Amino acid sequence: MSRTDAVTRILFEAFTAAEVRLFYLLGYAAIAVFLYGAYVQIRKYRRGAALKLEGSIPARLGAMFSSVLSHRTIDRRDPAAGGAHRLIFYGFLLLFAGTATITLEYDILEPLFGIRFWHGEFYLVFSLVLDVAGVALIAGLMFMMYRRGWMHLPKLDYARPDRVPGDPDFNRPQYRREDWAFLWILVIIACTGYVLEAARLVWLHARADIWDTRWWSPVGALLAQGMRAMGLGADGAGLLRHGLWWFHGLIALVLIALIPYTKVKHIFTAAASLMVRDPLAAQRLPRVPESQEQAGAAKITDFNWKQLLNLDACTKCGRCHEACPARAVGAPLSPRDVILSLREFAHATLESGAIPAAAELDIHGKAPGQVAMETLWSCRTCMACVEICPVAVEHVPIIVQMRRKLVEEGAMDPLLTKTLQTIHKTGNSFGESKRKRGAWSKGLPFPVKDARKEPVDVLWFVGDYASFEPRNQKVSQVFASLLQEAGVDFGILYDGESNAGNDVRRVGEEGLYEVLATANVNALSGANFKSVVTTDPHSFNTIRNEYPDFGGKYEIEHYTTLAKRLFAEGRLKVTNPLKYRVTFHDPCHLGRFNKGYDAPRELLALLGCELIEMGRCKANSFCCGAGGGRIWVPDPVGAEKPAQNRMKEAAAIAGLEVYVVSCPKDLTMFEDALKTTGNEGKFVVKELIELIREAIPARSTEELPA
Amino acid sequence: MKILVAVKQVAALDEDFSIRDDGRGVDPDFLIRDLNEWDDFSLEEAVKIKEAATEPVEVVVVSVGSDEVDESLRKCLAKGADRAIRVWDSAIEGSDSIAVARVLAATVQREAPDMLFAGVQSSDQSFASTGIATAGFLGWPHAAVVSNLTLAAGTKSAVFRRELEGGLLHEVEIQCPAVLTIQLGINTPRYASLRSIKQASAKPIEVLSLADIALGAADVGEAGSLSRVRRMYVPDMGRAQLIEGSAAQQAARLAEIIREFKGAAA
């Protein structure tokens, strides 16, 4: 046997039999504590409502591994944290795998089958790999410590916008302690590992197979050289090794035992959460089963097991906190704190042997763990939180399900109550007569086909704002004339159309949504058309993603893709290139919800505009504040509105001429914000449709609506 | 304890309405039906009493009208009424508020409640007489335009407040059974979610005929009425006016006009 063949991992050398037995005992105890904790957690999730997942398990596993191994979701908008986490993740994974393989050989393969592989070159290479992994782990941990301790990132500040200083759960200092304890325990495990390795080398330096191959453990060897240079002898090193062995071993066992009880559990919960991720979580809200007595979530057990798992997956990274438009303007909402409150609530109520009485499971209110209605109503369901969450927490359906319960109780702003009643009565949020829905088309020099009466190629679902709001009616007229000039055979449903219901559903008025969706699906099925187009991203989202649940499957597109095609086919031609310097606001429901980022930008390029992006664009676009029914509820007086916050961002672009939107609600919100932020006269807010019109002057001005 | 709440499904004008051929009303095609706004408040007041009570309180809504009214009754059931009664017979068509009050009084006698609530008035006819006329037929004590009410289930009297001219408040004690007409703003009516309305469709709506309440065709309709609508029309009126004067005067006049219009719409 050559010298390197003999070399192997020194395990229990110089241990008494009693010591080894003690270690095994402690090891089993740690595993037992871990298993019990895991059982309690799984029992907690199982106490949630049932949910049947769609999609195959292999596909879900594939998606999960792809996210976890690539760290794609952690890198987003914070590549430094992503990189450091990657070092920790792979470092930890390799070191754990190393330890696990030793167990595999020592406790299973060798005693049962006499198989040994943990020696010779395999051992040496692995020991090099593990030494490097340890460096990676420590480097990652150091950066995370620096980040927590010195970078002062607002997203890592646990102060809550829905609490005031002095409240027992205002900034949760126990989280901070846990964060640091987690970092320190890993640092200590890694560092003692190296010192232990060095002490072992010094202790056994007389054995050539060990000492001569020491550079396969470069960090340990370096430390060993140092120890020897400082005069540490074999006996002293043996003593040090013995003591450190126990220290290192015990602390590692403690970490394993504590996994299910601490934030360390994210190792499992985050991966599981990614595995059960719903790619349409916010786009397609869950239906309320007919048989369900009560709509929405009143008790913690009204959430399904996946949502309870979501709560535990949160790592408090604060990305949703940072992205939330309500939080940004000081509203009492942070998506992070909704999740953490509910997590604390589930922890307090669902982890003991018996589930407490229903009254103690009420998640609505102001006590620690409960969520206040002011918090729930602050949400604009813009999906910024869901979109950025690295561990697939789905905040929006949780918030909407809680709102459903508030709606049942009527616990909402009186203006919202009024609007819902109006929509029920008239089918639109403006309280206008149903008959007037198509009235905007009367100003056109040509009749718009009634799709209920004659077949059309393209059915235009107009939506409330584009139908009734005067400023948007003008845009609708322009779009109609563009379609007409491009020779598109189109029509509208006139008073057969109702409010699409997207925002009604996001308010939480599921019953009214069902009425509206059913009415529209019936109206659409009575018409003869090939595809649907809409200028309203809200209608677009619900028709595209939610109407299929009501039996309405249509080919639908937002006008930006239709317009792009009309240009590509030469049916629309730019004759008057615009030289504007513009910026584009991605509507939530077109961009984040439905990934329609490109068509509007390609159109702007076609029109000859110079597009300067805002910092928050595309997936990170900043909500105008109108979503989730908030357009029907005035924002608090004096406080900044999301649209104003956005206008300030746009105003910082030097030489900006046009702030381009492609959503009727955006036009309303931002034209208002332009004035209230004092930017009127500096630049203008325009619908992309209006820019297209400008680039294609109508054949004669008489043809244009006034 | 039993509280009866008389409700009415009112009609609101749609855009571009037209007058019926006989010239005495609006073409029903142009009417949007909904529960009378005042009745939201009187129902809420009854449901609040029920919810605060330790003894059982039954809240029964009653309306006079065809099956079109069921939709509004279901809304009342969703908001917490226990039962709904609808009285109808084609002979009732054309009744004025007095004839309707006669029907309501007969229904009250059948139900024998401890209290009858009604709205101060209906938003479409604005006679403000149905509730009080019902009290007249019953011979019960009554009060109109109640803006605050203290009534505990099981007690034999109620204390209520009414707002008088000049900022005066009138606090009155009244013996039960009595008829109170309830003013807007006495409470905050709850929202009936569509889901609760749907679920309320499981609750029964009892339909009574004239025979059930011991009335005949002569007691209702035009025969049983004390008044008759001669015609309904839109008066000729100039829609435009030029406001003259200084900017401040113009603004003041404009504000006045806006207030007038808002007042007219309410």
In a domain, A527, yes or no: yes
Q: Are residues A234 and A342 in the same domain?
A: no
**Structural domain span for residue B214:** 2-219
B74 pLDDT more than 80: yes
- Range of weakest confidence among A237-241, A431-435, A683-687, B105-109: A431-435
On the question of pLDDT at A1 being above 70, the answer is no
Question: Computed over its alpha carbons, how large is the radius of gyration of chain B?
Answer: 20
pLDDT one-digit tens code per residue, B195-233: 999 888 888 899 999 999 999 999 999 999 999 988 988
What are the pLDDT digits (tens) for A313-347? Answer: 999 999 999 999 999 999 999 999 999 999 999 99
How high is the ipTM of this complex? 0.81
Co-location of A484 and A584 in the same domain = no
**Least confident window among A31-40, A300-309, B11-20:** B11-20
Please name the residues in contact with A342: beta carbons below 8 A apart, sequence gap of 6 or more.
A300, A303, A311, A363, A369, A371, A398
pLDDT at A704 over 60: no
Percent of chain A with pLDDT over 70: 98
CATH number at residue B114: 3.40.50.620
Tell me the residue range of the domain where A188 lies.
3-46+65-261
pLDDT of A351 higher than 50:
yes
Residue of A nearest to B195 (CA): A511
Same domain, A143 and A127: yes
Q: In A576-620, where do the E strands start and end?
A: 581-584, 610-611
User: Based on the structure, what is the number of domains in chain B?
Assistant: 1
- A410, B14: Cβ pair inside 8 Å? no
Copy the structure tokens of residue B16: 């571009």
In a domain, A288, yes or no: no
One domain for residues A650 and A551: no
CB A672 within 8 Å of CB A643 = yes
Answer whether residue B91 is part of any domain.
Answer: yes
Range B73-76 contact pairs with CB under 8 angstroms and sequence separation of 24 or more = B73/B7, B73/B205, B74/B197, B74/B200, B74/B201, B74/B203, B74/B205, B75/B35, B75/B192, B75/B197, B75/B200, B76/B5, B76/B7, B76/B35, B76/B39, B76/B43
C-alpha dist (Å) from residue A298 to A9, A404, B53 = 56, 9, 25
Token representation of residue A518: 């059913």
Q: Is the pLDDT of residue A701 over 50?
A: no
Q: Which run of H or E residues covers position A658?
A: strand A658-661
Residue A700's pLDDT band, with cuts at 50, 70 and 90, is very low
Using a CB-CB cut-off of 8 Å, the residues of chain B touching A406 are none
Helix (H, G, I), strand (E, B) or coil at A690: helix
Q: Which residues of B touch A410 (CB under 8 A)?
A: 190-193
The CATH number that applies at residue A502 is: 3.40.50
> In the structure encoding, which two tokens stand for residue A618, read together?
């595309």
At how many degrees (to 10) do helices A559-568 and A470-485 cross? 30
CB contact under 8 A, B193 and A432: no
Tens of pLDDT along A286-297? 999 888 888 899
What is the pLDDT at residue A487? 96
How many domains, chain A?
4
- Closest chain B residue to the Cα of A421, Cα to Cα: B191
Q: What is the CATH number of the domain that holds A406?
A: 1.10.1060.10
Residue A344 lies in a domain: yes
A593 and A677 in a single domain? The answer is: yes
Whether residues A166 and A253 fall in one domain: yes
**Do both A36 and A167 map to the same domain?**
yes
pLDDT score, position B30:
86
Query: CA nearest B196 in A: which residue?
Result: A408
**A466 and A529 belong to one structural domain:** yes
* More confident site: B241 or A217: A217
Average pLDDT estimate for A606-621: 97
**Per-residue model confidence as pLDDT tens digits over A471-507:** 999 999 999 999 999 999 999 999 999 999 999 999 9
CA distance A451 to A524: 9
Q: Which residues of B touch A495 (CB under 8 A)?
A: none
Using the Cβ of A514 and the Cβ atoms of chain B, whether some distance falls under 8 Å is answered with yes
Does B240 map to a domain? no
Q: Which of A406, A423, A424, A437 should we substitute to test contact with B (largest number of B Cβ atoms within 10 Å)?
A: A424
**Nearest chain B CA: its distance from A464 CA (Å):** 17
Give the Cα-Cα-Cα angle A171, A177, A179 (nearest 5 degrees).
95
Indicate whether A644 and A623 sit together in one domain: yes
- From A464, A689, A680, select the one nearest A560 (Cα to Cα): A689
> Within a domain: residue B156?
yes
Is residue B116 assigned to a domain?
Answer: yes
Within this chain, do residues A22 and A126 fall inside the same structural domain, yes or no? yes
Q: Which of residues 291-350 of A touch B (CB under 8 A)?
A: 295
Report yes or no on B253 lying in a domain. no
Contacts of B188 in chain A (CB under 8 A): 414
User: A512 and B191 in contact by Cβ < 8 A?
Assistant: no
Is the pLDDT assigned to residue A298 strictly greater than 90?
A: yes
For residue B33, give how far its alpha carbon lies from the nearest alpha carbon of chain A (Å): 8
> What would the mean pLDDT of A520-532 be, rounded to a whole number?
97
Q: Is the domain of A611 the same as that of A563?
A: no
For residue B187, what pLDDT is reported? 94
Report which secondary-structure segment, H or E, holds A251. Answer: helix A234-258
Measured in degrees and rounded to the nearest 5, phi and psi for residue A480 equal -60, -40
Task: Tell me whether residue B60 is in a domain.
Answer: yes
∠ CA B219-B224-B228, nearest 5°, is: 165
Q: Which residues pair with B83 in a beta bridge?
A: B60
Residue A420 falls inside a structural domain: no
Residue A702 has pLDDT above 60, yes or no: no
What integer is the mean pLDDT of A529-542? Answer: 98
Q: Which of A542, A567, A592 is the last residue of a domain?
A: A567
- Sort out which chain A residues have CB atoms less than 8 A from B26's CB and list them: none
**HEC sequence for A298-362:** CEHHHCEHHHHHHHHHCCCCCHHHHHCHHHHCCCCCCHHHHHHHHHHHHHHHHCCCCCCCHHHHE
End position of a domain, from candidates A567, A589, A617: A567
- Written in H, E and C, the secondary structure of chain B is CEEEEECCEEEEECCCCCECCCCCCECHHHEEEEECHHHHHHHHHHHHHHHHCCCCCEEEEEEECCHHHHHHHHHHHHCCCCEEEEECCHHHCCCCHHHHHHHHHHHHHHHCCCEEEEECCCCCCCCCCHHHHHHHHHCCCEEEEEEEEECCCCCCEEEEEEECHHHCEEEEEEECCEEEEECCCCCCCCCCCHHHHHHHCCCCEEEECCHHHCCCHHHCCCCCCCCCCCCCCCCCCCCCCCCCCCHHHHHHHHHHHHHHHHHHHC
Judge whether A289 lies within some domain.
no
Residue with tokens 């959460």: A273
| pLDDT given for residue A119 in this prediction | 82
Q: 3-state class of A570 per DSSP? A: coil
Domain annotation covers residue B27: yes
Q: Determine, yes or no, domain membership for B134.
A: yes
Query: Which residue type sits at A523?
Result: A
**pLDDT level of residue B264 (50, 70, 90 thresholds):** low
> Does position A698 have pLDDT exceeding 80, yes or no?
no
Q: Are residues A312 and A397 in the same domain?
A: yes
Phi/psi at A346 (5° precision): -65, -40
Structure tokens at A494: 């006139």
Is A515 in Cβ contact with B193 (below 8 Å)? no
- The tens digit of pLDDT for each residue in A186-206 reads 999 999 999 999 999 999 999
**CB-based contacts of A55: which residues, under 8 Å, 6+ apart?**
none
More confident of the two residues A48 and B12: A48
